[in-house]
Structure 1
Amino acid sequence: MLSKKVLVKQIITDNSKRKLKRDFHEQILRLEQECQQLLFEQRKLQNKAGTSKQEINARFQQEIRKRKEKMKLVDFKIEQLDMLETGSEITETEVDALVEVKPGTDWNKVMASSAIIVKDDVVIRIDE
C-alpha cells in the first residue's frame, strides 16, 4: 500500500453556497469574539502592577492584527463565493488515500492526480 494525496472538490449548488456562506460568517463572528476577548485580557493585564504596558499592548495588538487579517481573508472568500455560478467546482481540501501497488501496476496511473467530487455532501464521482 502507498499513501497518496487526493483533492476533494465540491460542486457548488444553492444549498452548498448557503452553507459555505453561513460557515464563513460564523468564522468572522468567532474571530471578532476573539478580538474582544483579547482586548479584555489586555486591559486586565495592564491594570496589574509591575507589568510593562507597552509590551502587553504590542503583544495583544499583534494577535488582534492576525485575527483581523483572517477576517479580511474570509470576507474575500465570501466575495469569491458570490461570484461563483451554480455547478462550478471548487477545491475544498486534500486527503490521504491508500493505493494498492503490486508488481505490474502502471506507475503513471498511481502517481496521476485524482479527485473526489462531492455535491451536497454526497460523493458523486472519483476522477482517476
Structure 2
Amino acid sequence: MKLLQTVVVKQILTEKSKDELFEKYQERRLQLQKECDQLRFELKKLEKTKKYQPTQLLEHFDKEIQIRQEKIKLADFQIEQLHILPLGSELKEREVQALVDVNVGDRWDEFLSGKTIIIKDGYVAEIRER
C-alpha cells in the first residue's frame, strides 16, 4: 500500500548557500519596498481624482502598506539571523509530500517518525530517518 508522508527538507548553511539566502532576502526586501512606494504613488493619484472617500482610501492603502512593512521587518530579521548563524547549521527549508510503500510486517513507529532530506549546496547530501 502506498501512503503520503511529509518529509522535512533542511539545508546545510555553507558560504555559497549563505550568500544565496542573503541575496534572496535582499531581493524580497527591495521588492516589498517598491510595492510600498507604488502603493503610496497610487494613493496620491487616486486622492486627486476625488472619486473615492479620502478616509476609506487612506485606510485601505495604509493597511496594505503596513502588511508590506511587516514583511520588510521579517526580511530584516532573517538577514540579521543569517549573519549570526555559523556555517554548518541546518535550516528547515520546507516540507514536501512523498509517496512511501507500507507493507505487512513493516514497523509502524519507523513510518510515523518520517524522513529528513539534507541539502548541501543544491545537492542531496543525506536522507535521515527522524
Does the pair score TM above 0.5? yes
Specify the alignment match of 1:110 in structure 2: 111
Aligned partner letter, 1:70: K
1:11 offset after TM fit, Å?
A: 0.4
1:50 offset after TM fit, Å?
A: 3.3
Instruction: Give the whole-Å Cα distance in 2 for the aligned partners of 1:111 and 1:5.
Output: 10
What TM-score comes out, normalization by structure 2 length?
A: 0.95
Specify the alignment match of 2:22 in structure 1: 21
Q: Number of residues paired by the alignment?
A: 128
Say whether the 8 Å CA contact 2:5–2:114 is kept in structure 1: no
1:54 aligned to 2:67? no
Q: Structure 1: any 5+ residue segments left out of the alignment?
A: none
**Aligned structure 1 segments of 4 or more residues deviating by more than 2 angstroms:** none
What TM-score comes out, normalization by structure 1 length?
A: 0.96
Q: Secondary structure at the match of 1:103?
A: coil
Say whether the 8 Å CA contact 2:4–2:98 is kept in structure 1: yes
Q: Secondary structure at the match of 2:21?
A: helix
Q: Secondary structure at the match of 2:38?
A: helix
Tell me which moved more, 42-51 or 26-35. Answer: 42-51
Q: 1:6-49 CA deviation, whole Å, 9 max, x = no partner?
A: 11000000010000000000000000011011111111211223
Structure 1 segment 17-96 matched on structure 2, within 5 A: 17-96=18-97
Q: Structure 2: any 5+ residue segments left out of the alignment?
A: none
Say whether the 8 Å CA contact 2:117–2:127 is kept in structure 1: yes
State percent identity of aligned pairs: 43
